[in-house]
Every structure is written in structure tokens, then in C-alpha cells.
């Protein structure tokens, strides 16, 4: 073989190798009767830092549009992405919160120390009525976390009566006197929070007995059948899930929670920066993020053992990236910036939840405003939407849509000899017949061509939106609030019966086929 032919063959081989590494195949089927619950797209607002105070609930003198002290530009932004539920008042704060302190005339409400988050004074000006007014403005369902750690069965039982009963009891008359004659009909109730940790450092055996006791006195009132959610495991504590599922009858609980945070370094002492990280650190973060797939799969398998009909929901009601706080901010306030990396984390987690919708029927991003992986950041009268917000905007099309099963073969993203799947996907079909496909490319360098087969799905046109930026560390700031925002995507086309998508590096895309 002469040198010229040899070089040509090498060149062709390199091209073929490069082509093989940068292509993926996806097959989407219409063979499903499952629905992606809208509650997967829930949010979380705790009395922590500037999440409530300075976030939702602002000073009367702040020059922004308000109803009472509820900030309406924030409300309108969240209405746009159709948040289905809002979890409150915690978090760890829930197990030191006593609801009677947060009702009645604001000036008469007792003050307390928020011992979990910065030791600041909590004036209780934002309480039950204010939260439920907020949920009314948002058009979302409230999700209460009841105090099991430092509270009593009577306290929780009376809180439920206060918000849900239409009787003439003394407790209900208190609600009427406080300005709300009609019951609120709140159905989502968490029975404690992180009972394995800040909620009481309980064993699963002790907590399961406590749950049965508390749940027995969590009564249904007309029009408000309760969805009781047990405090579930921390991350990969599979024994906790096993004991809870074994000891608590399925009919007593609507769901069991799961808490897992993506900590970039995997080390809680030095979690890593929100805005300054290398590719190696980015890769490590994505390894931590993708662990959610393993956790959901393994906890679901344990639940299947006791609940083969999948009547009990898995509710991932705390998730998101948790980094070191921004320099110069109160370490107890958990304020962090939000980059393109975090948007890809959000999109990847939502794809995982969508694909496990047989068991995952609820979730709550931590947290909505100014805390951890926020949707919104505020600074006095200024407000910006984070890259994570835009992911929820792009993904809202999956809420209560028919789940479409996916099979995929994807290339690896390799850094320092380690590898993860470069592409993740979820898909659904809405009530009008439109198909939505959400794709994420985690690879920082390579565009990936995806050939997609859609079995038994008729479609003619494809449109889409993309979220990406020049750098994985790019963020929105108050000086440049729109640096990252969704744009029209032109990289998808029909090729016979197939869909061909060229996914840019470090991007998230949602397509609409009709």
C-alpha cells in the first residue's frame, strides 16, 4: 500500500471515529399510558435568607408593584412558568415553626429566633394567611410542612382544622376573625421534614411510628382529602425507605419524600464555587447531578417491593445544586449565583423525573428566590430571571402531558479518563397532540447530531427553543439580566420519518412537533 492511500485511509478512519463519537440515536414510542405529573415542577420557599423576606414579602416602602407586601413582578414571573405547587415554611425551619405565631394582627405576633438559618429574628409577619394569599395569586397549590420535630399532634391537627374546616369550631372562628370565612382546602401536607436530621435526628423505626400517630390525627374535611407525605430518606439511605415502606401502610400516605442536592465537589465542607470552576470541576458536578438517576431507581425498587401497584408517590421535594455562598454574603443565607451549568443541572434532573413519572409524582426545587438554585434573584427593586428559571419555562410543556418512553444510544463525555453520557432526553405529548422533546448536551466542546425515530407518531413541522451561552460559567446579573435567555432553535429538521437534531455543546433544547 502506498503512502497516499495509507494517509487517505487514516484520514477516513479519523473522520469516521469523530463521526461515531458525535452522533446519538433516540427512539421515542407512543406506547404509554403514564402522565408526567405537573407537581414534578413544584417549588420550595423556606424562611431562609432573603427567600421570603426581601423575596416574596417586601418592605411596604419598596417601589415595586405589590399586593399587601407580596411582590407582584415575582408573582407574574412565576405564573408564566405555571408553577403547580409551593412548599412552605421549610425545610429545617418547619420543625421549629409554630403556626399560631403567624396569624392575627401582624404587630401582635410574637418574634422568634431562626436558629437554623443565621440566627436572625423572625417577626412572623409572613404566616399562614400571607402564604395562602401568595398561592392564590400564583394560582398554585400550597404544600405545608407540619412541625413534627418540636411540635405536637394537637398543633398540627388544629392547623389543618384552621385552614380546611367549614365548621363553627373555636379554631375556625379564629380564621374567620382573621379575614377568611371560607376554608382554604389545602391538600398537600408533609408530616415533618428531614426527620433523620434537623427535624429530630430520629431513627426510621421511631419516625414511622410518629408518622402513624400524627397522620391518624390529620383529618380530612369536606373538599380537602389530604395528601400526606412522609419524611423520606437523605440521599442514598435506602434502609430509611425500606423501614418506612415496611412499617407504614400505603393507605396512610400519599407519598414519601427524597432529598438530594448536587454538591459540586461532593464535599459539604468545601462545596465549590457557583461562578468559578474548571472543566474538571464541572464534570465532577455533573457526576454528582446524574446520581439522581441511581437514587430514584433504587428507592423506587424498594418501594415496588412493598407497593407493586405504585400507589405511593416518590416526592423529590428538595433538589438542586448547592454551592458555597457568594463571597461577602451571610453564610447562613445560602445565597448563590446561577450559571449555565446550573441550568443544565435543572434540565437533567427534570428529564430524570419525567422518565420516572410512574413513581415520581412530585418535586420541589430548592429554592424559588435568592436561596440555593433560585429561579429568581432580587436586589431591592431589581429582579432577574436565572438560567434555571428559563429551563422551567422551556419545560412547562411537559406538565400533565402523556409520557413518551425513550430508548437512546449516546456518546460519552470524557474528562480526565472518566465518562458520563453526553446526552439526556425526555418527551411527552400534550392534550392537543403536540409532541415535546427536551434534550440536554452536557459536553462542553462537541456538537452532537441526534437521529430520532418517532414510532406511531405523526408530525409535519418542528420548532424549538435553546438555552446556551459562550461559557459554561456565564450568569445573568442585575447589570446584564438577559445575558442568558431562550432563543429560537433552528438545528432540527424532518428527514423522511425521522427527526434530525444538531445539539450544540453545553445546551438545553425543547422541541415542539406538530
91: cell is 425545610
Report the relative pairing of strands 382-385 and 376-379 from DSSP bridges.
Answer: antiparallel
Catalytic residue check, 318: yes
Classify residue 261 by its DSSP letter.
Answer: E
In whole angstroms, give the CA distance from residue 280 to residue 420: 13
295: cell is 437514587
127: cell is 404566616
Selecting among 154, 161, 194, 279, the annotated active-site residue is 194
Who's near 14: CB < 8 A, 6+ residues apart? none
Report the relative pairing of strands 448-455 and 23-29 from DSSP bridges.
Answer: parallel
Buried residues in 162-186 as b, exposed as e (16+ CB within 10 A): bbbbeeeeebbeebeeeeeeebbbb
In whole angstroms, give the CA distance from residue 265 to residue 267: 5
What length does the chain have?
A: 514
Selecting among 107, 318, 326, 514, the annotated active-site residue is 318
In whole angstroms, give the CA distance from residue 384 to residue 77: 10
In whole angstroms, give the CA distance from residue 84 to residue 438: 20
In whole angstroms, give the CA distance from residue 507 to residue 497: 25
Cα–Cα nearest to 43, from 135, 158, 172: 135
Q: In degrees rounded to 5, what are phi and psi of residue 28? A: -115, 130
Cα–Cα nearest to 240, from 226, 269, 254, 260: 260
Who's near 212: CB < 8 A, 6+ residues apart? 247, 248, 252
289: cell is 447531578
Residue 133's CB is within 10 A of a number of other CB atoms, namely 17
**DSSP SS3 for 16:** helix
DSSP H stretches of helix in 356-432: 387-395
Report the relative pairing of strands 313-321 and 42-44 from DSSP bridges.
Answer: unpaired
Distance between alpha carbon 41 and the CA centroid of its chain, in Å? 6
In whole angstroms, give the CA distance from residue 266 to residue 323: 10
Q: Are 371 and 48 in contact (CB under 8 A)?
A: yes
Q: Are 318 and 364 in contact (CB under 8 A)?
A: yes
197: cell is 436530621
In whole angstroms, give the CA distance from residue 391 to residue 361: 19
Residues marked active site are found at: 194, 318
Amino acid at each position: 500500500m502506498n503512502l497516499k492511500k495509507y494517509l487517505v485511509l487514516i484520514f477516513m478512519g479519523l473522520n469516521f471515529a469523530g463521526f461515531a463519537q458525535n452522533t446519538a440515536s433516540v427512539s421515542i414510542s407512543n406506547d404509554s399510558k403514564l402522565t408526567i405529573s405537573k407537581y414534578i415542577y413544584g417549588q420550595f420557599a423556606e424562611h431562609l435568607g432573603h427567600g421570603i423576606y426581601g423575596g416574596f414579602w417586601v418592605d411596604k416602602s419598596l417601589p415595586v408593584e405589590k399586593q399587601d407586601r407580596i411582590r407582584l413582578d415575582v408573582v407574574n414571573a412565576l405564573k408564566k412558568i405555571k408553577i403547580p405547587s409551593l412548599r412552605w415554611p421549610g425545610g429545617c425551619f418547619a420543625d421549629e415553626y409554630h403556626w399560631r405565631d403567624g396569624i392575627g394582627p401582624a404587630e401582635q405576633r410574637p418574634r422568634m429566633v431562626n436558629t437554623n438559618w443565621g440566627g436572625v429574628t423572625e417577626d412572623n409577619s409572613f404566616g399562614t394567611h400571607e402564604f395562602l394569599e401568595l398561592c392564590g395569586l400564583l394560582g398554585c397549590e400550597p404544600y405545608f410542612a407540619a412541625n413534627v420535630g418540636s411540635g405536637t399532634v394537637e398543633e398540627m391537627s388544629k392547623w389543618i382544622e384552621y385552614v380546611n374546616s367549614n365548621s363553627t369550631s373555636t379554631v375556625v372562628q379564629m380564621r374567620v376573625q382573621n379575614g377568611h370565612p371560607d376554608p382554604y382546602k389545602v391538600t398537600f401536607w408533609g408530616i415533618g421534614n428531614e426527620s433523620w436530621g434537623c427535624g429530630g435526628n430520629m431513627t426510621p423505626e421511631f419516625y414511622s411510628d410518629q408518622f402513624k400517630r400524627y397522620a391518624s390525627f390529620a383529618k380530612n374535611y369536606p373538599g380537602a382529602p389530604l395528601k400526606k407525605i412522609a419524611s423520606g430518606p437523605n440521599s442514598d439511605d435506602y434502609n430509611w425507605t425500606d423501614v418506612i415502606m415496611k412499617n407504614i401502610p400505603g393507605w396512610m400516605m400519599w407519598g414519601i419524600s427524597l432529598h438530594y442536592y448536587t454538591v459540586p465537589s461532593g464535599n459539604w465542607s468545601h462545596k465549590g464555587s457557583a461562578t468559578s470552576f474548571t472543566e474538571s470541576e464541572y464534570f465532577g458536578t455533573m457526576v454528582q447531578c446524574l446520581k439522581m438517576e441511581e437514587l430514584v431507581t433504587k428507592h423506587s425498587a424498594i418501594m415496588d417491593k412493598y407497593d407493586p401497584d405504585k400507589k405511593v408517590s416518590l416526592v423529590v421535594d428538595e433538589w438542586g445544586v448547592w454551592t458555597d455562598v457568594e463571597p461577602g454574603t451571610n453564610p447562613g443565607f445560602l445565597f448563590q449565583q446561577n450559571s449555565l451549568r446550573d441550568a443544565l443541572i435543572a434540565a437533567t434532573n427534570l428529564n430524570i423525573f419525567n422518565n420516572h413519572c410512574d413513581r415520581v409524582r412530585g418535586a420541589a426545587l430548592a429554592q424559588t428566590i435568592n436561596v440555593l438554585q433560585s429561579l429568581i434573584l432580587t436586589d431591592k427593586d431589581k429582579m432577574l430571571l436565572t438560567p434555571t428559571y428559563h429551563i422551567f419555562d422551556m419545560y412547562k410543556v411537559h406538565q400533565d402531558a402523556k409520557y413518551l418512553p425513550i430508548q437512546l444510544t449516546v456518546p460519552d463525555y470524557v474528562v480526565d479518563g472518566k465518562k458520563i453520557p453526553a446526552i439526556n432526553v425526555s418527551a411527552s405529548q400534550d392534550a392537543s397532540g403536540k409532541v415535546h422533546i427536551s434534550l440536554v448536551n452536557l459536553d462542553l466542546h462537541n456538537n452532537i447530531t441526534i437521529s430520532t425515530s418517532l414510532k406511531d407518531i405523526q408530525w409535519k413541522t418542528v420548532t424549538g427553543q435553546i438555552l446556551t451561552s459562550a461559557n459554561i460559567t456565564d450568569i445573568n446579573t442585575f447589570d446584564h439580566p438577559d445575558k442568558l435567555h431562550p432563543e429560537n432553535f433552528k438545528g432540527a429538521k424532518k428527514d423522511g420519518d425521522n427527526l434530525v437534531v444538531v445539539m450544540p455543546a453545553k445546551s438545553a433544547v425543547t422541541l415542539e412537533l406538530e
